[in-house]
Structure 1
Amino acid sequence: MTCGTCSKPVNPGRTYCSRRCAAFANLTPKGGIYVAKDGRAYVSLRGKRKQLYSRCLMEAHWQRTLAYEEVVHHINGDPADDRLENLAVVSRREHLAIHRSECRKHRKLSDADLQVIFSSSLGPTALAREFGVSPALICLYRKKHSDEMRAGVEQRPGQTFGSARAA
């Protein structure tokens, strides 16, 4: 006989291989699984407790509770794709580094755009609308630029933003 959640072998007379699999299978009838506006699936476990479906899947697959420092990363970037082969457990620091590097790969702003942003008196919301990025990204670029200027870093022609080194 196999577990009703993860298909691992179970002892005779049992339905699930662990308490975690039993909890995963015994979803509350009111909540169950629902999808939020951002495409992420959530699971209601025993009353009001909510958890990301991808996190619950990985916990059932690994047969242990994930630590707070562990994050489930969607390899293909689609939060709605909760297949086990698309999920990876990484530390919060590694997860942040992954998404920062993806941000750099898909950066929409040229060096000329950045110069306009740094010299403009417009607010982040207006600039974000103009360049088609988020206001948070505008604030991040402005903060990084002001930090580099304060540190006395010069940017040479042909050098990308954020790669200047202090002399």
Structure 2
Amino acid sequence: MEPLDRFDIAIMRALEREGRLSNNALAEKVGLSPSACSRRLDRLEAAGAIAGYHARLSNRALGHPITVMVHIGLSGQSERQLSEFEAAVRRCPNVLVCFLMSGEYDYLLRVVARDLADFERIHKTHLSAFPHVVRINTSFALREVLDRPAVSLDPGC
């Protein structure tokens, strides 16, 4: 991708603040014609600088107030083992985030559950049944302090 210029940054900053802007409103905010704004937006999306648009839903409102950070250790790290584990993780709807990690554990998952009994079910039927799992370490989140979808374009700290 070519370097971002001031119009690209302005488009991304405006969408970061208000992702539901129409193209005309976005163009007006950043000082471009609607057609030029649309072309730039298409380019930013195609390049992956804008990864998508979505509503941020509340897990609590959806009946899943428990968040658990789960460290997973596998029996090995061959391409086949990693691929099989990752395919299984994708099939578990309670796993919201999965990172391949360096360090003591191979993966870090963010899992949501309705309550402790529901997490026990998830642990028995999914987490411990995922292929090649040999170690599981869980930590229950007491309170969410911050959950940013991305680094802000506005200057901070």
Q: Is the shorter-chain TM-score for this pair beyond 0.5, marking a shared fold?
A: no
- Higher Rg: 1
Higher relative contact order (Cα pairs below 8 Å, separated by 6+ residues)? 2
Q: Where is the strand percentage greater, Structure 1 or Structure 2?
A: 2
- TM-score with structure 1 setting the length: 0.23
